[in-house]
C-alpha cells in the first residue's frame, strides 16, 4: 500500500481533514490487498514446509535405492595376505578360489652410462648431456621428443616422468657423499623384458639394461603352464581382481556381504524416523501450522506405514520385522542387529528373494513405487504440491501488483481532488477575510465620522 503523507501546505484550515479522508479511503481500498499479502505469507510457509518435507522423503528414497547395491556386494578373505590381496566387486561369484603365485615378475631397469657422459655432482645444476632435446624409445616405439625445462638432470627426469612413456625415471648416487656421482635410472612400468633407449641425438645415454620378467600364476591349479602377466594386478574371476605380492599359494573366499544390507537397513530406519519427525511437527501441540489439517500429511503418513508394513507373504524372510527392523518403545524404527544376523545367517538367497529389485519385485520394488508416488518429478504428490503452490505464489504476486496499481491510482486521484478543494476553500477564506476587513474598516470610519 502506498504511504500517505501530508500533501497540503496548510492553505486551508480543512487540509488536515482532507488528508484524513485520503488516508481512510486508501486504507479501506487496501483491505483486499492486505488479505492477499496474508494469503501469500501462508502459501510461502506451506511451500517452505513442503520443501523441508521433500528433503526428508528424498533421503528415505535414496536410502531405499541403495539397498540394491548393498545386496550386490561381497566379502573377500585371503588365507595368506602376504601372497596376494583381493577385493570382490560387482559380478563376483560366491566360492573359494585357489591362487598359486609362481612368480611376481620384475621390471626392466637401466641406468645412464658410466663412461662417455658428463659427470653430475649436482643434479639440480648439471646434466649427463648438454643437449636440449632427447629421444626416448620404449618397447621399440619412439616417444615424442623429450625437452627438459632446463639443462639439468633433475629436469630431464621430471620431463621423462611427465611424458607418460611407460618408464619411471629416478636419480641415484653411485658415488659417496663427499664425491657424488648422480646417474639417471629408468624402470619400465610394465613387467617383463622391455627395451628402453635414450639418446641426445648423437650419443646413446643408457648402459646395459637388466631385463625384467613377467609375472605368472595359476587359478584352481590351472592351466598347467602358468598364466603370464605384465602387471601384478590381475583378474582371476569375474568381479574378482587380485594383486600378486610374492610367490606362494593362498585361498580367496568370496561370500555375500549381508552386513552391507544391515547397514543400509539402519540408514533406512534413520531416514524413516526423520520423515516421521518432520510430519509430527504439524501434529504437535504448539507446533507449526503451515501444513496443519492438510491431506498431504495423511498421504505421507500412510506411505510410511505401507513401507514399514510390507510383507512378501511367504519364505523364511517375509517382512522387515523378520529381519529385525521394527519399532522400539518410543515408536522409532530401528534394526536389531542380533535378529538380523540370525535371520540372514546362511540365508542370503532368502534375503535376496525378499529384497528383490526396484524393477522386478520384492520389497525394493514395492518401496520404490511408493516413494515414486511421492517423489516423481512429474506425478509425485510432494513434487506436484510444491509446484502447485509455486504457481499460486506467482499468481498471487501478479494480483498484488495489480491491486497496488489500482490503489496508487486511487490515491493520486484523491490527492488531486482534495488539493483542488483545499485550494478553492483557501481562496474563499481569503475573500471572506477581505470582506470582513473591509466591513470592519467601514464601521470604524463610520464611528469616527459621527
Query: Per-residue DSSP letters for 97-140?
Result: EEEEEEE---EEEEEB-SSSS--BS-TTT--S---S-BEEEETT
Domain chopping of the chain, boundaries: 1-73+257-450, 74-104+214-256, 107-199
Nearest CA among 207, 208, 204 for reference residue 134: 204
Q: What residues form DSSP beta bridges with 308?
A: none
Four-residue CA torsion sign, 121, 124, 130, 135: positive
Q: What is the pLDDT of residue 321?
A: 94
Q: Indicate whether this model's pTM tops 0.85.
A: no
Reduce the DSSP state of residue 244 to 3 states and report it: strand
Q: From CA 225, how far away is CA 231, in angstroms rounded?
A: 18
Low-confidence ranges of the chain (pLDDT < 50): 1, 3-8
Q: From CA 425, how far away is CA 363, in angstroms rounded?
A: 85
Q: Distances from the Cα of 405 to the Cαs of 29, 88, 159, 230, 402, in angstroms?
A: 12, 69, 71, 80, 5
Q: From CA 339, how far away is CA 334, in angstroms rounded?
A: 11
Helix H or strand E encompassing 171: strand 167-173
Helix H or strand E encompassing 196: strand 196-199
Q: From CA 352, how far away is CA 257, in angstroms rounded?
A: 11
Phi, psi of 213 (to 5 degrees): -130, 155
Q: What is the pLDDT of residue 6?
A: 45
Q: Are 357 and 64 in contact (CB under 8 A)?
A: no
Q: From CA 379, how far away is CA 33, in angstroms rounded?
A: 33
Q: From CA 402, how far away is CA 408, in angstroms rounded?
A: 10
Q: Which tens digit of pLDDT belongs to each residue from 211-244?
A: 999 999 999 999 999 999 999 999 999 999 999 9
**Cell numbers for 192:** 617383463
Q: Distances from the Cα of 51 to the Cαs of 97, 383, 396, 421, in angstroms?
A: 51, 9, 19, 54
Nearest CA among 218, 220, 167, 214 for reference residue 191: 214
Q: From CA 436, how far away is CA 86, in angstroms rounded?
A: 116
Q: Are 200 and 238 in contact (CB under 8 A)?
A: no
Q: What is the pLDDT of residue 445?
A: 78
Q: From CA 127, how far away is CA 153, in angstroms rounded?
A: 4
Q: From CA 286, how far away is CA 303, in angstroms rounded?
A: 25
Q: What is the pLDDT of residue 23?
A: 85
Q: From CA 345, how far away is CA 348, in angstroms rounded?
A: 7
Nearest CA among 117, 127, 171, 119 for reference residue 149: 127
**Cell numbers for 256:** 555375500
Q: What is the pLDDT of residue 285?
A: 67
Helices (H), 227-380: 258-280, 295-308, 337-344, 348-355, 362-375
Q: From CA 379, how far away is CA 366, in angstroms rounded?
A: 17
Q: Are 217 and 210 in contact (CB under 8 A)?
A: no
Q: Which tens digit of pLDDT belongs to each residue from 35-92?
A: 988 889 888 988 999 999 999 999 999 999 999 888 888 889 999 999 999 999 888 8
Amino acid at each position: 500500500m502506498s504511504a500517505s503523507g501530508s500533501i497540503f501546505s496548510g492553505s486551508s484550515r480543512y487540509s488536515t481533514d482532507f488528508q484524513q479522508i485520503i488516508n481512510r479511503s486508501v486504507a479501506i481500498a487496501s483491505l483486499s490487498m492486505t488479505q492477499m499479502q496474508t494469503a501469500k505469507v501462508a502459501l510461502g510457509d506451506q511451500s517452505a514446509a513442503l520443501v523441508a518435507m521433500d528433503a526428508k522423503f528424498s533421503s528415505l528414497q535414496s536410502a531405499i535405492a541403495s539397498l540394491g547395491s548393498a545386496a550386490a556386494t561381497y566379502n573377500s578373505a585371503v588365507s595368506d595376505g602376504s601372497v596376494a590381496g583381493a577385493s570382490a566387486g560387482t559380478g563376483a561369484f560366491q566360492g573359494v578360489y585357489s591362487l598359486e603365485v609362481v612368480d611376481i615378475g620384475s621390471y626392466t631397469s637401466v641406468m645412464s652410462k658410466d663412461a662417455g657422459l658428463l659427470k653430475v655432482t649436482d643434479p639440480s645444476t648439471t646434466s649427463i648431456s648438454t643437449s636440449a632435446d632427447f629421444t626416448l624409445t620404449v618397447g621399440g616405439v619412439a616417444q615424442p621428443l623429450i625437452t627438459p625445462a632446463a639443462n639439468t638432470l633433475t629436469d630431464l627426469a621430471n620431463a621423462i616422468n611427465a611424458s607418460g612413456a611407460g618408464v619411471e625415471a629416478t636419480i641415484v648416487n653411485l658415488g659417496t657423499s663427499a664425491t657424488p656421482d648422480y646417474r639417471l635410472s629408468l624402470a619400465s612400468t610394465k613387467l617383463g623384458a622391455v627395451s628402453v633407449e635414450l639418446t641426445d641425438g648423437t650419443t646413446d645415454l643408457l648402459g646395459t639394461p637388466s631385463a625384467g620378467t613377467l609375472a605368472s600364476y595359476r587359478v584352481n591349479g590351472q592351466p598347467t603352464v602358468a598364466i603370464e602377466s605384465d602387471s601384478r594386478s590381475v583378474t582371476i574371476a569375474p568381479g574378482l581382481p587380485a594383486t600378486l605380492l610374492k610367490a606362494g599359494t593362498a585361498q580367496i573366499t568370496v561370500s555375500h556381504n549381508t552386513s552391507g544390507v544391515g547397514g543400509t537397513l539402519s540408514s533406512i530406519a534413520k531416514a524413516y524416523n526423520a520423515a516421521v519427525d518432520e510430519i509430527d511437527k504439524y501434529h504437535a501441540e504448539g507446533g507449526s501450522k503451515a501444513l496443519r489439517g492438510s491431506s498431504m500429511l495423511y498421504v505421507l503418513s500412510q506411505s510410511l506405514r505401507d513401507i514399514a508394513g510390507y510383507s512378501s507373504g511367504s519364505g523364511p524372510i517375509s517382512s522387515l520385522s523378520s529381519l529385525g527392523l521394527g519399532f522400539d518403545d518410543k515408536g522409532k524404527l530401528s534394526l536389531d542387529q542380533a535378529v538380523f544376523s540370525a535371520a540372514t545367517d546362511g540365508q542370503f538367497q532368502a534375503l535376496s528373494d525378499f529384497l528383490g529389485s526396484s524393477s522386478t519385485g520384492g520389497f525394493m520394488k514395492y518401496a520404490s513405487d511408493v516413494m515414486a508416488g511421492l517423489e516423481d518429478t512429474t506425478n509425485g504428490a510432494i513434487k506436484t504440491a510444491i509446484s502447485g503452490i509455486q504457481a499460486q505464489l506467482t499468481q498471487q504476486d501478479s494480483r498484488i501488483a495489480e491491486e497496488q496499481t489500482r490503489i496508487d491510482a486511487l490515491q493520486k486521484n484523491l490527492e488531486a481532488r482534495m488539493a483542488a478543494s483545499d485550494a478553492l476553500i483557501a481562496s474563499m477564506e481569503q475573500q471572506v477575510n477581505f470582506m470582513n476587513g473591509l466591513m470592519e474598516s467601514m464601521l470604524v470610519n463610520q464611528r469616527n465620522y459621527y
